[in-house]
Chains A and B, each alone.
Chain A
Amino acid sequence: RKEVEQDPGPFNVPEGATVAFNCTYSNSASQSFFWYRQDCRKEPKLLMSVYSSGNEDGRFTAQLNRASQYISLLIRDSKLSDSATYLCAVNELTGGGNKLTFGTGTQLKVEL
């Protein structure tokens, strides 16, 4: 099993739709999780941090299910500008400090 798994998509949705992505992780000791947005040929940009059960920021909601070891990202009222790849990242504390393991990302295309 991969450490962090995401459905690659693409998810093609109409503008205004609600869309949800899931991300599963294998390390049950992980305590913090992050969603990043990455546009084509650009760097990942932090979207949300999740340290407890979830987080909400405007149209974006992230939820953590520790028992099933997955986190989800919900986007409400999708905009054309939301089209991007969404990367899930799981934190692991090692002897050398914290490090993130990324999923391969889920591609979202919002259409008119």
Chain B
Amino acid sequence: DAMVIQNPRYQVTQFGKPVTLSCSQTLNHNVMYWYQQKSSQAPKLLFHYYDKDFNNEADTPDNFQSRRPNTSFCFLDIRSPGLGDAAMYLCATSRDGGAGGQPQHFGDGTRLSIL
């Protein structure tokens, strides 16, 4: 089945130790998104790629970076994780739907814990 796949499902890292989360898709969608979701909060958009064009949200900390080497893959790099970065990280994809918008399809998420 076509889908959005995130690896790993659970990630534990040490305070300040860089970590990379990965996302791949077989939907051939041109837009990919990274969200951070903390308990009982809304998913918060960190950034998204429209094809190769990177779009950063104004309030996304510099500690968070992203790479999209090709259509299928997108990575989230956290350069120096702090305790406040413990959260679920969700990858989503969509087709570009112009002004009408298209639904986003989410991966299973990666739950990040910081020791």
Contact = CB atoms under 8 A, between A and B. Distances in A.
B103 A98 contact: no
B108 A104 contact: no
Nearest to B104: A100
B43 A32 contact: no
Interface centre among B40, B43, B98 (most CB of A within 10 A): B43
User: Which range holds the interface residue count of chain B?
Assistant: 20 to 34
A98 B97 CA distance: 8
Contact of A102 (B31, B43, B109): B43
Interface of A is mostly: strand
Interface stretch (B14-22, B48-56, B60-68, B73-81): B48-56
B2 interface: no
Interface of A: 4, 8, 31-32, 34, 41-46, 49, 51, 87, 89, 91, 93-94, 96-105
Contacts of A105: 42
Interface centre among A44, A94, A97 (most CB of B within 10 A): A97
Interface string B84-115: 00001010001011111111111111010000
The 5 closest A-B pairs by CB, nearest first: A96-B55, A91-B101, A32-B101, A97-B50, A102-B42
A43 B107 contact: yes
B42 A99 contact: no
Contacts of B102: 32, 98
Contacts of B50: 96-97
